[in-house]
């Protein structure tokens, strides 16, 4: 029988108690996280902050949140790791399927008609801002590659960005547990997903054609200048604005709007319907692309914006 050395965190030793997070310490982290990421931590996030940062305290063998705060301030690498802990990364393939239905039914026919009339090129530039572990940009890439095959002269470029380096590493790997596959429509599973076997059993991997279409980059939506080059035909920025304060949401949406092509679309998560959000943008959904009269499991309240000058031209 093999024996392992007992470590400081061995189950044989009583677990170290989690230090208290004093009100003053919480306020320091609140201000720091807000400044560095735009994420607003309310009083109800206090327990979440403790449990997420505790991992870092343990790893660094620090015994107070003040000591960890000083460490984060002094060490830019630790700042990145701290933000990795703070970010909530829940995502899945084809999240809010109504958005993908809308692309296929309303947006793609427009692009095809414009290309046929030589009013646009056959290159489509798409950005998943706050892409987490990649399910969103891969869902977009699969949808686009199916509708606009490179064999017909189309070129698909998908950019995935996020603040968290941890999720970007997973997104770039393009490998997920097989259970994730259930959200991927069967026709795309067959075409774009590889099932692992042997030591890779239980995993799925995106096929080369999809991986080639996507690139990833770290980017903070709340810090200008944005290190991306527009314009984009389509921007997805879903389920991230909810973490920001109102003024920050408005600024982010405004900046994203400036990076759209004149006919481009900005998709926000349905929970993020923002009325009067940006002067230069107008809502096309739910206004113009309404949800079906008889709601189905797929029909969410879409929140899609376009530049105002497009409406004036039409």
Residues that bind ligand SAM (CB under 6 A): 37-39, 87-91, 95, 130-132, 136, 162-164, 167, 220-222, 238-240, 243, 269
Give me the least distance between CB of 301 and ligand SAM, in Å please.
15
Give me the least distance between CB of 297 and ligand SAM, in Å please.
17
Cβ within 8 Å of residue 137, ≥6 positions away: 126, 128, 131, 158, 159, 160, 171, 214, 216
Rank residues 115 and 133 by Cβ distance to ligand SAM and give the closer one: 133
Per-residue tokens: 225 = 């200048």
Q: How far is Cα 35 from Cα 47, in angstroms, rounded to an integer?
A: 20
Give me the least distance between CB of 127 and ligand SAM, in Å please.
11
Give me the least distance between CB of 233 and ligand SAM, in Å please.
18
Exposed e or buried b for every residue in 19-56, given b needs 16+ CB within 10 A?
A: bebeeebbebbbebbbebbbbebeeebeeebbebbbeb
Rank residues 240 and 281 by Cβ distance to ligand SAM and give the closer one: 240
Rank residues 39 and 49 by Cβ distance to ligand SAM and give the closer one: 39
122 secondary structure, DSSP code: S
Give me the least distance between CB of 225 and ligand SAM, in Å please.
14
Rank residues 115 and 135 by Cβ distance to ligand SAM and give the closer one: 135
The helix (H) or strand (E) run that includes residue 46 is helix 46-60
Q: How far is Cα 115 from Cα 112, in angstroms, rounded to an integer?
A: 5
Rank residues 214 and 240 by Cβ distance to ligand SAM and give the closer one: 240
């Amino acid at each position: 029988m093999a024996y392992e050395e007992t470590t400081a965190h061995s189950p044989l030793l009583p677990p170290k108690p989690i230090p208290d997070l004093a009100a003053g310490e919480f306020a320091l982290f609140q201000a720091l996280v807000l400044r560095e990421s735009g994420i607003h931590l309310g009083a109800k996030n206090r327990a979440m902050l403790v449990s997420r940062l505790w991992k870092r305290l343990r790893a660094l063998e620090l015994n107070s949140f003040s000591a960890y705060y000083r460490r984060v301030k002094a060490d830019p690498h630790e700042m990145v790791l701290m933000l990795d802990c703070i970010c909530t990364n829940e995502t899945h393939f084809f999240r809010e399927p109504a958005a993908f239905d809308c692309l296929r039914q309303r947006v793609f026919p427009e692009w095809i008609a414009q290309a046929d009339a030589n009013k646009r090129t056959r290159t489509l530039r798409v950005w998943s801002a706050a892409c987490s572990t990649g399910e969103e940009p891969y869902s977009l890439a699969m949808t686009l590659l199916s509708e606009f095959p490179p064999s017909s002269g189309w070129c698909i470029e998908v950019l995935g960005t996020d603040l968290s380096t941890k999720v970007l590493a997973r997104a770039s790997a393009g490998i997920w547990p097989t259970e994730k596959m259930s959200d991927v429509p069967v026709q795309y599973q067959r075409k774009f997903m590889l099932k692992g076997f042997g030591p890779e059993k239980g995993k799925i991997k995106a096929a080369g054609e999809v991986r080639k279409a996507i690139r990833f980059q770290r980017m903070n939506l709340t810090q200008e200048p944005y290190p991306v080059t527009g314009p984009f035909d389509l921007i997805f920025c879903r389920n991230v604005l909810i973490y920001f304060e109102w003024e920050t949401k408005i600024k982010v949406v405004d900046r994203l709007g400036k990076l759209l092509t004149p006919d481009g679309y900005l998709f926000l998560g349905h929970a993020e319907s923002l009325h009067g959000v940006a002067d230069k943008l107008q809502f096309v959904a739910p206004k113009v692309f309404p949800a079906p009269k008889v709601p189905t499991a797929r029909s969410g309240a879409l929140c899609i914006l376009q530049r105002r000058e497009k409406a004036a031209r039409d």
